[in-house]
Amino acid sequence: MTPSDRLQAARRAFALGDRSGAEQLLGGVLQADPDNFEALQLQGVLLATSDRLADAVTVLEKAVKVRPNQPAAWMNLGEAYRRLGCIEEAVRVLQRAVELGPHLEEVWFNLGTALKAAGNVEASEEAFRQALSIAPRHARAWFNLGNLLREDGRVAAAVDAYQQALATAANWPEAWQNLAAASLELGDAAAAVNGWRKVRELAPWHPKVDAGEATALLQAGHVASARKLFQRLAEFHPESLGAQLRAILPVEPIAISNAAIDEYRARLAGELDRLVAARFTLNVSDLAHSGCEPPMQFNYQGRSDRGLKEAFARLFTQALPDCEPPPSGSGVPHVGVVVSRGHEQGFDRCLGRLLDEVVCPELRISLVGQRGAITVLRQLRPERRCSYFPIPEDVGEAAEQIRAAGFDLLHYWQHGTDSTNYFLPFLKPSRVQSATWGWPGTTGLAVMDAYVSCAWLEAQDADAHYVEPLVRLQSLPTRIERPPQAGDNSLPDAAEWTRQPGTRLYLCPHNLRKLHPDLDPAVASLLDADPAAIFAVIADAQPSISEALIDRLRAHVNQPQRIRLIPRQSRADYLRLLTAASVLLDPPHYGGGANTVADVLACAVPLVAWEGPFHRGRWVSGVYRALGVEGLTATTPEEWVTLATRIATDPDLLAYHRRQMRTAAEQLFAPSAASAELREWFLTTIAAARLRQ
């Protein structure tokens, strides 16, 4: 057999999956002709696809020396280097391949993949788009571009890219999976459920399909269906703490009654005790996006959460490795503020501007978040004085990078609202850790050194609500900006019916999950007290959640048609809707926060507060006290109804309260002592920690 015959036979054997036969034949070719380019190329590809990457690099290096102007050879060598983990070398080699073959889409695709691994987002995106300009139906290029965009925080664009990939490769499970995940990030739970069901259809054995579909169902408000899938996973994986937790955590987003709330919490407490007794362990690499953190619905249930959150802390303290905190830094004190993905808008409006005022030559502040979060934060405030510290998605790797950076203090904006910001403190990446009011209430963690709040927002006995030492700053802890559209009195289309003669709009403009069952009888009393009253709420992004709340409310009133659901609004229309209301209403237990207060003051529409014992029910009333607003705070349902109906039916009283709101708005949006006070707390706390070590 001639060398040419052997080469052809090797190609046939490789195509048929006979790697051993192909390798033997190629060995014969190269023994006779060590510089046979085609044989070197094929042997390099064979070795690479057999995961013998170091050997593949050796062979392919020889191939490019034999024919240095062949772009395919450079491309294969670069891909082998990338898979071997030699990313810089891969980029160098693939750039040479592009120089030799700029017309080849696969060369650009491989360069884009290597540049993505190198963290060069801009150049990677350009390379993928070059590949697509040559081959617009290159499904893998669209897929990898989607992954790049999603990781960079451009989730809507990522969805478009995944859809383009699926237009060419409709039966690709991984593309459906990533489309589902990106859709869920955008709040499109229905699309996420559909995506995961397509994955199940194409690949029923897929290891993530049950958890993925269940998570999407949970966000869509289909709790019973989600629970069944999570319970099935728990049965299949009795050794997994994550699987056991996800089976017991799902809770209805709209509580049907106080009895249902108490039953859920009692059952959960018992299950947590059982899991603690079982002494599970939890792998740090499994924490990201695990969904094992305490449910956010705790805050909506109108109870003290300290006991349950301490139970979670006991479970995870036992299950996770015990870490020693790093030493305090030296030089200029350095604070890291954790802002994870999905929480950038609220942070920027409520705390971002204040932190820019806190920064000074004596204190550095870095915003700590995944790359996508950092991208969004940069776009929101391009001239930000705080610096940025990107972290990987993996919680353990993130903790190590934070530890290595030497932060003196790590400050959590919304601790407990996702897996990353909940689990990071357990790994003690900083000597001092503190939480703050972005997510109201105790973290439950003994490793948290402080909860930074404000005297105006806390009851006198509030220390008992927190595991952490409670810090009561004296200034309102925000530097929120006035909404630019406030004051436009034109009416959005969704509120045209408010012009109906003889009706008054009582609007509760909050997240529907906040509307506790204790609200229902108060609404019934309000409608009885004012025959012209219409009580309205704004629809949730998930239709099932809106339906559950409206059904519950209407079951408590004599005239269900007086309970209205307003479609979701644009930001500008939302502000106009506020001005269309006769009066705005805070619900019990968890009322409006900094965003709501800023909006209603800017629009000068009275909001009747319903003050509760916990921080989450005291923002509106606390701001009113701080700014001298009187006559708008209730502490009982009867007082809430009386205040609301009196204001709505008395034009003079309404005008008085509108004037009060305008005066208070000038104070809220003006500079305050908050930045100096927070700066002093950071510096004093860091100095004390440095002295103690």
Secondary structure string (H, E, C) spanning 480-524: CCCCCCCCCCCCCHHHHHHHCCCCEEEEECCCHHHCCCCHHHHHH
Rounded Cα gap, residues 173 and 57, in angstroms: 31
Amino acid at 463: D
Domain 3-181 grouped into CATH 1.10.1060.10: no
Q: Are 333 and 683 in contact (CB under 8 A)?
A: yes
- pLDDT at 487 exceeding the cut of 60: no
- pLDDT at 142 exceeding the cut of 80: yes
Nearest to 416 by CA among 265, 271, 309: 309
Provide the 3-class DSSP secondary structure of residue 105: helix
φ/ψ region of 279 (left if φ > 0, alpha if ψ in -120 to 50, else beta) reads: left
Confidence grade of residue 548 (pLDDT, cut at 50, 70, 90): very high
Output the pLDDT for position 322.
95
Is there a common fold for 3-181 and 493-668? no
Buried b / exposed e along 626-637 (16+ C-beta atoms within 10 A): bbebeebbbeeb
Confidence grade of residue 122 (pLDDT, cut at 50, 70, 90): very high
Output the pLDDT for position 568.
95
Confidence grade of residue 486 (pLDDT, cut at 50, 70, 90): low
Burial level of 642, CB count in 10 A (0-12/13-18/19+)? middle
Confidence grade of residue 496 (pLDDT, cut at 50, 70, 90): low
CATH placement of domain 493-668: 3.40.50.2000
Confidence grade of residue 635 (pLDDT, cut at 50, 70, 90): very high
Pick the CATH number of 334-479+674-692 from 3.40.50.11380, 3.60.10.10, 3.40.50.1950, 3.40.630.30: 3.40.50.11380
Least confident of 91-100, 322-331, 616-625: 322-331
Q: Are 69 and 100 in contact (CB under 8 A)?
A: yes
Q: Which two tokens stand for residue 596?
A: 């709501």
Rounded Cα gap, residues 377 and 398, in angstroms: 18
- pLDDT at 573 exceeding the cut of 60: yes
Q: What is the mean pLDDT of the chain?
A: 95
- pLDDT at 495 exceeding the cut of 70: no
What mean pLDDT do residues 501-509 have?
93
Confidence grade of residue 9 (pLDDT, cut at 50, 70, 90): confident
What mean pLDDT do residues 93-103 have?
97
DSSP string, 38-74: HHHHHHHHHHHHTT-HHHHHHHHHHHHHHSTT-HHHH
415 CB-side CA count, 13 A: 26
Percentage, residues of the chain above pLDDT 90:
89
Tell me the domain boundaries of the chain: 3-181, 221-315, 334-479+674-692, 493-668
- pLDDT at 230 exceeding the cut of 80: yes
- pLDDT at 1 exceeding the cut of 80: no
Output the pLDDT for position 153.
94
DSSP string, 338-356: E--TT-HHHHIIIIIHHHH
Least confident of 299-313, 487-501, 534-548, 667-681: 487-501
- pLDDT at 331 exceeding the cut of 70: yes
Output the pLDDT for position 58.
93
Percentage, residues of the chain above pLDDT 70:
98
What mean pLDDT do residues 46-75 have?
92
Nearest to 252 by CA among 523, 440, 512, 442: 512
- Residue bearing the bigger pLDDT, 7 or 350: 350
- pLDDT at 491 exceeding the cut of 60: no
- pLDDT one-digit tens code per residue, 165-209: 999 999 999 999 999 999 999 999 999 999 999 999 999 999 999
Amino acid at 150: R
Output the pLDDT for position 279.
96
What mean pLDDT do residues 131-136 have?
98
Output the pLDDT for position 651.
96
What mean pLDDT do residues 650-674 have?
95
Indicate the pTM of the whole model. Answer: 0.93
Least confident of 100-109, 339-348, 496-505, 653-662: 496-505
Least confident of 265-274, 394-403, 493-502: 493-502
Q: Are 176 and 166 in contact (CB under 8 A)?
A: yes
Rounded Cα gap, residues 106 and 140, in angstroms: 10
Terminal Cα distance for the chain, rounded: 77
Burial level of 544, CB count in 10 A (0-12/13-18/19+)? middle
- pLDDT at 23 exceeding the cut of 90: no
Output the pLDDT for position 485.
66
Confidence grade of residue 498 (pLDDT, cut at 50, 70, 90): low
Rounded Cα gap, residues 457 and 2, in angstroms: 87
Q: Are 644 and 506 in contact (CB under 8 A)?
A: yes
- pLDDT one-digit tens code per residue, 266-299: 999 999 999 999 999 999 999 999 999 999 999 9
Q: What are the backbone angles phi and psi of residue 601, rounded to the nearest 5°?
A: -65, -40
